């Protein structure tokens, strides 16, 4: 991690850094948890600087996908309280939090010797795992919203029953007991249809 850093630009005690990595890696935005692709965003390095000497101790790296997240961070906002972030949604159980599919993706610090078969299998597996994970996540959300739907339907039905008198006369209701709008009857006289009256200009 530390050996990845190449350039450091000092700026008023904060370090805004261009991280030049030996290997490409997609990072997660610290604020909104979206992926930061290489070449995008800003990374903030929290360093401990020893007095008087140019020695630094790297404490934490923050990645930001865009200036919105970066500015929010500078305003010292807590992402867990900011509605549009993933941190919030996970905390408030809007999104799936625990699942076996999350176990597959883990940052490994020990590199493995290259094996073509393993690589192939991994690439195929990633697709499958992705599909399963997204299916489960959408199911989770669907289930979460299902109760709301049911409730809304119940309410709608009730409202329909209670309020039908506003749009339908009780007499009409007696004739046609379905909870629908009354059918408007229009009398069309025969005489009119037979005569072909010339149109008045």
Partner 1 sequence: MVQNNFKKITVVPNGKDFIDIIISRTQRQTPTVVHKGYAISRLRHSFALMISNPFYGDLLHVLYNKDHYKLALGQINTARNLISKIAKDYVKLLKYGDLLCRCKSLKVAALGRMCTIRQHMARLPSIDPNTRTMLICGYPNVGKSSFMNKITRADVDVQPYAFTTKYQVIDTPGILDRPFEDRNIIEMCSITALAHLRAAVLFFLDISGSCGYSISQQAALFQSIKSLFMNKPLIIVCNKTDLQPLDGISEADRKLVMEMKGGEPTNEEGVLLIMSTLTEDGVIAVKNAACERLLNQRVELKMKSKKINDCLNRFRVALPKPRDQKERPACIPQAVLETKAKQAAEKEKRKTEKDLEDENGGAGVYSASLRKNYILSNDEWKEDIMPEILDGHNVYDFIDPDILLRLEELEHEEDLSPEEQEALAEIRKKKSLLIQQHRMKKSTAESRPVVPRKFDTDRKFTTERMGRQLSSLGLDPSLAINRARSKSRGRKRERSVDRRDGDDGDAMDIDDNQASKKLRLRSTSRSRSRSRPPSEVVPGEGLKDSAQKVKTIKLAKKSVLKRNKNARRGEADRVIPTLKPKHLFSGKRSIGKTQRQ
Q: Tell me which residues touch partner 1 (CB under 8 A).
A: 2, 23-26, 35, 50, 53, 55-58, 100-101, 103-108, 111-116, 118-119, 121-123, 125-130, 132
- Residue 84 CB, nearest approach to partner 1 (Å): 19
Residue 67 tokens read as 């200036």
* Counts of helices then strands in the chain (DSSP H, E): 5, 6
| Nearest CB to partner 1, comparing residues 83 and 107 | 107
Q: How far is the CB of 122 from partner 1 (least distance, A)?
A: 5
Q: What's the chain's length in residues?
A: 201
Cα–Cα dist 121/113, whole Å: 15
Q: Least separation, in Å, of the C-beta of 132 and partner 1? A: 6
Residue 103: DSSP 8-state: G
Cβ proximity to partner 1: between 112 and 200 the closer is 112
The distance of closest approach from Cβ of residue 147 to partner 1 in the complex, given in angstroms and rounded to an integer, is 22
Is 60 within 8 Å of 46 (Cβ atoms)?
A: yes
């Amino acid at each position: 991690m530390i050996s990845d850093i190449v350039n450091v630009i000092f700026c008023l005690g904060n370090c805004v850094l261009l991280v030049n990595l030996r290997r490409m890696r997609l990072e997660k935005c610290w604020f909104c948890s979206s992926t930061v692709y290489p070449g995008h965003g800003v990374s903030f390095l929290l360093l401990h600087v020893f007095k008087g000497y140019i020695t630094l101790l790297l404490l934490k790296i923050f990645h930001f996908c865009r200036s919105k997240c970066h500015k929010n961070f500078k305003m010292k906002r807590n992402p867990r309280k900011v509605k549009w972030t993933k941190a919030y949604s996970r905390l408030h159980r809007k999104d799936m939090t625990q699942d076996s599919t999350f176990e597959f993706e883990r940052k490994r610090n020990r590199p493995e010797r290259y094996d073509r078969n393993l690589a192939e299998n991994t690439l195929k597996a990633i697709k499958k795992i992705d599909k399963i994970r997204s299916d489960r996540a959408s199911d989770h959300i669907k289930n979460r919203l299902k109760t709301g739907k049911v409730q809304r339907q119940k309410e709608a039905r009730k409202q329909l029953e209670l309020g039908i008198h506003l749009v339908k006369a009780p007499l009409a209701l007696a004739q046609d007991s379905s909870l629908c709008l009354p059918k408007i009857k229009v009398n069309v006289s025969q005489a009119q249809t037979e005569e072909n009256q010339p149109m008045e200009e």
